Structure 1
Amino acid sequence: MITTTEIENYSTEWWDGFLVKTKNLTETSVFKDCMVKQETKLLRTYILQIIQTLAKLRTNKYGYRVYIDGKLLDRVEMNRIYDAPPHDNEEVEDWVERVFGDKKFGMILNLGEKFNLDLSKNIALKTQPYLEKVGFPREGINFSIFIGNYDKTPLGIHKDPPGQDVMHFHLGPGDKTMYTWGKDEYENLTTNLKFEKQDIDGLLPYSTEFSFKEGDMYFMPEGEYHIGKQDGLSMALTLWRYNHTKDKLAKKLQNVIFSQFLKQNDDLLLSDKNDLNNVDGLEETLEVFDIPGEMENLNFKDLMREAYKDLRYSIHSNAGYRTSPFPLDHDILFKMDDEIILEKPYKILYKLSLNQEKIHMYVRGIKLELNNFDGIISLLNRINIGKKERVSDLLSILDQTWDQETGLYILNLIYKNHGITIIKN
């Protein structure tokens, strides 16, 4: 089987054509033969590996939903799906036959970029020149995975939240057709012409039809009403750009602040008997915010600006993805003659803290903090060149009075968060 690194990725010129055909991301379009069958088969294998992982986790935390004959399975019913994951090297057709038989089913998984490093890398390599052209969306990108043999999308006719456009990489084996309505057109049909919103058969004649097959890619701008229809079994990976409203971004930044500085504390508060104008009763609550001294005197807007900077560094270090892969749960014991290389297309980004005492390092969206010592930034710059490096050569960049374990600790941090890989000889 081919591997991700053997795939020919989309060039800058290909994305130029993409932007022309979609009229700068405003018009629905189909792009034929974007992937060969070897690649679509490879990506289907990666997705089945994700289903295996979810079976072990036994959770719907990541937007994992399964419909059978149009009915959403509840928590208890999902146990049957968890108990029957795909076998290693099992084809999707065989797994579906074994688990679902002749039933119509649909499966949706959000945050798919978290679960399979090879799948995420494949898509990131494809979209790197695209994101360099159009810019990184404010809240990053993620992908959802669709599997099923359902006649029509279980969600019915719908439009996605504002600010989200989508690229649908169709992995087959079956074909698919999308029916779309513009916002004004659909609302005129359902308001002025009195069509019921889910009268799919009545509304389809007024739609625009887009058909595509295994290896094709379908783009749809935000705001389109749509529903999918297919014959037989197929898989799809859908890539979503998130450019949300100002209100949603503001709330996201507040969450960034909370996630970094708010310590867990379940102590109960007593009634506040102070005078109405006395706010001393808040002090013990403010103590659960572990805000660095350099940031304690920032006003609210400046604190939000720092959170926005953190968000951008995280997203850019992760090739645009909103969420990070699960870190490794074990340390790596590097040998001096081991060779490592940057996990392209990702970059290890860094910036100095406001007081210049710390280095904030971002690896695959994860923020890590190191003391600002000479040599560390030079080490990161060397890794980011993207050439293979011997561990002993990298450690020679650092202060030679340091214990060797310090450099190995930094490399281990990067490795555990998937920023570098070890070259196998």
Structure 2
Amino acid sequence: MLYLTLTAISTTLPGMKTMLDKKFWRNFSRNIWEKKALVLRNVKSGLLEITDAEVFDLLVLYADRCRKLNDPTGFKFFIDGFKAEEEDVLQVLPEKQDKSLLGYHARMKALFPDYCLVCDELLQVNHKKQHLLTEFTDELYRHVGFPNRFSEMGLYLGNYRKTPFGVHVDSCGVFSFPVAGVKRFRLWEPQYVKKNPSLDRAFKYEKHKKASELLEARPGDMTYWPSSAWHIAESDGSFSATWSLGVWVDQPHKEMISDSLKGLLAQKSGAAGNKVATQFKKLHSDSGEVSELPKAYLQTIELLQRLSVEELQETFLKSWMQHISSQGFKTVPSAPVEISAKSKIRLRSKNSLILWQHSLTSKGVVYFSFGGVTVAGKKSGGLFKLVRDLNHGNPCMVSQYFTRSRSDLRALQTLADAGALSIEKDKGLNRQ
């Protein structure tokens, strides 16, 4: 069955908005998610606040950071389908003087007849609009489940006629939001590509077009396709800019369990776990049978048998808390904030709480997590009360909770470095 029959297209009347309400998400999770593609016209969502002007500002902000570090990581630039060298990318990034995406396009078009700029790290600088993403993903995750890997925000812009790396498949479901121009995506089902492997990375596929479906979207629209869909973007050479949210679905639960246990086993095995050779009595019998475990393996069995339910539960709980503390994103926007006892602080976003949990194995210990980072404190310490007050939306003077506790201050600074906090100014709610 082709995407021609699988693609759902909204049929809202002119002037009407497509609501992303609970009814929509219930239907999406049951009938669309990881099953078929979708085109929604004239969507009503806070995500539409991320306009072409907002995207341009994010691009310049991240480009300025890359220029300052002399490192273009997160950007890729293609000229006539060929990837530019890293040292050349810094020379073609958006600048404030471009004034807009169209201004940047005019500068690039004068240099290159066919170009494509890709940015995979806009989340790093998306402070002001991050809450719009979390509002969208919170509803998505509530209905389809929290991703075992992450979601990331990406951007494609230019006048390129085809995606520079040809027909391809990702391991993520993709929500795409055009902010300038018309965006077209051509999709194939995985079964078809399996029968026609020449499509992989292809740029010429005229004979395969009948087996594909073409999605077309404009600013205000939204498209979605599942992680199994092979696809390529097409254009007539006109300028377009589209940002997307990719939800990666390529990490099974068994890998989450394995990763969670690594730290516990490393801690329990101690120095023996660092040995790089295993002592043995006899490798195998004369017939080749292997029936005897080395001593190191027997000791590991004893170690596993001694693990308590509380130890396992705490290990998984800490791992789960750290995982969800990034709210399902690859990166969390952060800005450097220096914390001292004299600082008056608050959460950077009321929708991004500092998560915490009681230790199940160490009495009086509390763990705190934000942005994929976890620190420890004491239930009797000031940090515990400070975090709870911050999570209730209160601005807090650090000195009212602790002044001499270096460990609490270090832990608080670690959470600030992860992007949890901002400094409260004396007047209003201005933040760093």
TM-score by length of 1: 0.73
Q: Which residue of 2 aligns with 1:159?
A: 169
Q: Deviations over 1:19-40 (max 9, x none)?
A: 4257241321122334557734
Cα distance change, pair 36–160 in 1 and its aligned pair in 2 (3 A):
closer
Shift of 1:58: 3.9
Cα distance change, pair 305–44 in 1 and its aligned pair in 2 (3 A):
farther
> Are 1:202 and 2:214 an aligned pair?
no
> What RMSD over aligned residues (CA atoms) do the two structures have, in Å?
4.2
State the AA in 2 paired with 1:69.
D
Provide the rounded CA distance (Å) in 1 between the counterparts of 2:121 and 2:275: 37
Provide the rounded CA distance (Å) in 1 between the counterparts of 2:311 and 2:186: 45
Equivalences for 1:389-404 in 2 at 5 Å? 389-391=395-397, 396=400, 398=401, 403=404
Q: Deviations over 1:114-170 (max 9, x none)?
A: 344335444223322332333311223222322222111112112223xx2111122
Q: Select which of 113, 123, 143 maps to 1:113.
A: 123
Cα distance change, pair 272–119 in 1 and its aligned pair in 2 (3 A):
same
Provide the rounded CA distance (Å) in 1 between the counterparts of 2:126 and 2:229: 30
Equivalences for 1:183-262 in 2 at 5 Å? 183-188=190-195, 190=196, 198=202, 199-230=204-235, 231-246=237-252, 249=255, 253=259, 257=263
Q: Which residue of 2 aligns with 1:356?
A: 362
Q: Is the 8 A contact 1:142 1:241 kept in 2?
A: yes
Provide the rounded CA distance (Å) in 1 between the counterparts of 2:206 and 2:28: 30
Q: Is the 8 A contact 1:15 1:130 kept in 2?
A: no
Q: Which residue of 2 aligns with 1:421?
A: 422
Q: Which residue of 2 aligns with 1:134?
A: 144
Provide the rounded CA distance (Å) in 2 between the counterparts of 1:217 and 1:423: 37
Equivalences for 1:85-104 in 2 at 5 Å? 85-88=93-96, 90-99=99-108, 101-104=111-114
Provide the rounded CA distance (Å) in 1 between the counterparts of 2:201 and 2:246: 25
State the AA in 2 paired with 1:242.
W
Instruction: Compare 406-415 and 339-348 and name the one that shifted more.
Output: 406-415
Shift of 1:335: 3.5
Cα distance change, pair 326–339 in 1 and its aligned pair in 2 (3 A):
closer
State the AA in 1 paired with 2:423.
I
Q: Is the 8 A contact 1:314 1:367 kept in 2?
A: yes
Cα distance change, pair 271–206 in 1 and its aligned pair in 2 (3 A):
closer
SS at match of 1:382: helix
Provide the rounded CA distance (Å) in 1 between the counterparts of 2:307 and 2:126: 39
Q: Is the 8 A contact 1:349 1:362 kept in 2?
A: yes
Q: Which residue of 2 aligns with 1:314?
A: 322
Structure number with bigger Rg: 2
State the AA in 1 paired with 2:54.
L
Shift of 1:362: 0.5
Q: Is the 8 A contact 1:166 1:222 kept in 2?
A: yes
Q: Select which of 8, 27, 34 maps to 2:36.
A: 27
SS at match of 2:321: helix
Q: Is the 8 A contact 1:324 1:366 kept in 2?
A: no
Provide the rounded CA distance (Å) in 2 between the counterparts of 1:205 and 1:32: 24
Provide the rounded CA distance (Å) in 2 between the counterparts of 1:168 and 1:313: 29
Shift of 1:407: 6.1
Q: Which residue of 2 aligns with 1:4?
A: none
Cα distance change, pair 297–57 in 1 and its aligned pair in 2 (3 A):
farther
Provide the rounded CA distance (Å) in 2 between the counterparts of 1:115 and 1:87: 15
